[in-house]
Structure 1
Amino acid sequence: MNLFQLRAFDAVSREGSFTRAAKRLSISQPAVTGHVKALEERYDLVLFRRTARSAELTPQGEALAALTRPLFGLVEQAEDLLLANRALVTGRIEIAADSPHVVMPLLARLRARHPGITVSLSLGNAAETYEALLTERASIGVVTEAEPREELHLEVLAVSEIRAVLARSHPLAGRAALDLAALDGQAMVLREPTSVTRRTFDRACRSRGVEPLVLMELDSREAVIEAAAAGIGIGIVSSLECGEDGRIRAIPITGADLSNRHAIACLARRRSLRLIRAVLDLAAETRPVGDRP
């Protein structure tokens, strides 16, 4: 068995791309393609479904990746052990997150503290972030309302509050805060039901017997803000995602727990790796006081 071929396959399985795998391994893209092709031909397998933009694992590829990821994870740990006495001046880390607004301040601190470290960031929903972590396509994940899992190490990174977003011409826009009960029967534009923000809001409404009139369900924060700014209805967004927009007001909502915790996560067995530990240490420096050990 050729370990160079397995390493190339593992890199493509993690990156979902032959081009990105080549960058990960610091070799040419044709070399990666050649290694994978040789592996497929030797064992008469099709490991990837190739498209113009990506490489998706076949069922046989998935089965092999389940073995190569922990295998080369151990290689990474061995290298980390051997480099333990060196300063952390170079390296590459893959991060997956479900919100750019939570992860970007962390990346800015990482850049300032360790400018030689290269970051690969992928953005998606919570389910996609979990998948990237569990399949080792990402070393670090940033997730809202993270679900505890035995294989994951979780630490609180930030806490946000849900705010009501209203057009400045809305009758309620002049208030300093809105009690949740004031939204009963109000026309609203909300994220899709699977959104973490939406689930938190719906749970609070049920606890208070509040029934807003949902006019639209939208698939992004930007769409919610645009609908609210157009006067279609009241929206809700995280306090970390409000931004500056002169067309709207983002008003705190009182009368219920409308907070969300944002966690930083990694595989528990990989938390001692130097790069991962460096990111966790930076996150700990700005952790909310009540959530520090």
Structure 2
Amino acid sequence: MKTTLDELQAFATVVDTGSITAAAEQLAQTASGVSRALSRLEEKLDVTLLRRTTRRLELTEEGEAFLCQARRILAQVEEAEEQMALRRQKPAGRLRVNAASPFMLHVLVPLVAGFRERYPEIELELHSSDQIIDLIEHRTDIAIRIGTLRDSTLHARPLGSSRIRVLASPAYLKAHGTPKDVEALQQRSLIGFTQPETLNLWPLRNTLGDELPIEPAIKASSGETLRQLALSGAGIVCLSDFMTQADRADGSLVQVLVRETLEVRQPINAVYYRNTALASRITCFLDYVAECLKAQVWTQQ
């Protein structure tokens, strides 16, 4: 009896999720059904693919070897299905997108309804992470990254850029005074990033050059957290226009040290591993995002 695609999918999903129960939930099946599929597969192959303990599942040496072939077969079937969908002008399949929380909330989320209306057969999975992730380890198709790229193994598509500015709430400035020059920042509460340190280099012209290294009084890992802190009047912050455009428009945040601020723009790139025969669902998503970003006010300022 030949191995079926359902059995291969069950095996790969159990490995990816770490348990039969989690795999069953992702595949919309019962745990017993997934367990039986694994058992049938091992019986047909006459090998043990997974060691089952009370605490976890572990791949055997044979399981690791077979997993590579199983993934290749599943990917080929998925690609064949996508090609057929493309012929019908209906790209389909699951698309996993990762982005930092601020970009996900302020840029991508507002685009989802329009994208789904145009491509209803593409199943979006949106994941937020304020740290750089490994695309393969996290089974991610596309990651949106802000700033200079450092991973040369990735293929990138530029989507635009966003300017960074030094900002504070009117309430903070009223309580503590608006700084008249760069040196005056030392007497203010500054809000910055925990990492990387390059994000704490503000684009302010000073006696040492065109970048001002700041020592934050408050640190956070997420730009969205920094934005909320600034809105609450906790201090002065340096953030990208894509997350503060609405705040500056309604006066919730105002730019400080305008004359000393240099025009520094952070590049926005979509990164992925596939460089040939790019899946149609990936191409459609990138084309749609790039098209929408061109119309955004903050990309023009």
TM-score (norm 1): 0.72
Question: Using the alignment, how far apart are the partners of 2:276 and 2:52 within structure 1?
Answer: 27
User: Please, which moves more after superposition, 28-37 or 159-168?
Assistant: 28-37
Query: 5+ residue gaps in structure 1?
Result: none
**Greater C-alpha Rg:** 2
**1:45–1:263 CA distance, 2 compared to 1 (3 A):** same
Question: Using the alignment, how far apart are the partners of 2:216 and 2:89 within structure 1?
Answer: 54
Contact 2:166–2:237 (8 Å) recurs in 1: yes
Match of 2:124 among 77, 96, 119: 119
Contact 1:92–1:118 (8 Å) recurs in 2: yes
| Residue in 1 that maps onto 2:236 | 234
Query: 5+ residue gaps in structure 2?
Result: none
Question: Could you tell me how far 1:269 is from its partner in structure 2?
Answer: 3.9
**1:200–1:19 CA distance, 2 compared to 1 (3 A):** same
Question: Could you tell me how far 1:238 is from its partner in structure 2?
Answer: 2.2
Question: Using the alignment, how far apart are the partners of 2:23 and 2:222 within structure 1?
Answer: 30
| Residue in 2 that maps onto 1:251 | 255
Q: Aligned pair 1:160/2:166, yes or no?
A: no
**1:231–1:271 CA distance, 2 compared to 1 (3 A):** same
Q: What's the secondary structure of 2:238's corresponding residue? A: strand
| Residue in 1 that maps onto 2:142 | 140
Q: Aligned pair 1:280/2:286, yes or no?
A: yes
Aligned CA RMSD, in angstroms, stands at: 4.2
TM-score (norm 2): 0.70
Equivalent AA in structure 1 for residue 267 of structure 2 = R
Q: Could you tell me the percent identity over the aligned residues?
A: 22
Contact 2:164–2:240 (8 Å) recurs in 1: yes
**1:189–1:287 CA distance, 2 compared to 1 (3 A):** closer
Question: Using the alignment, how far apart are the partners of 1:215 and 1:232 within structure 2?
Answer: 10
Match of 2:270 among 264, 269, 280: 264
Q: What's the secondary structure of 1:30's corresponding residue? A: helix
**1:102–1:203 CA distance, 2 compared to 1 (3 A):** same
Equivalent AA in structure 1 for residue 12 of structure 2 = D
CA offsets, 1:117-152, max 9 Å, x none? 321111113422xx2x33472222222236265653
CA offsets, 1:194-236, max 9 Å, x none? 3xxx624427468536343421212333432343345442123
**1:256–1:162 CA distance, 2 compared to 1 (3 A):** same
Contact 2:202–2:213 (8 Å) recurs in 1: no
Q: What's the secondary structure of 1:147's corresponding residue? A: coil
Q: Aligned pair 1:199/2:226, yes or no?
A: no
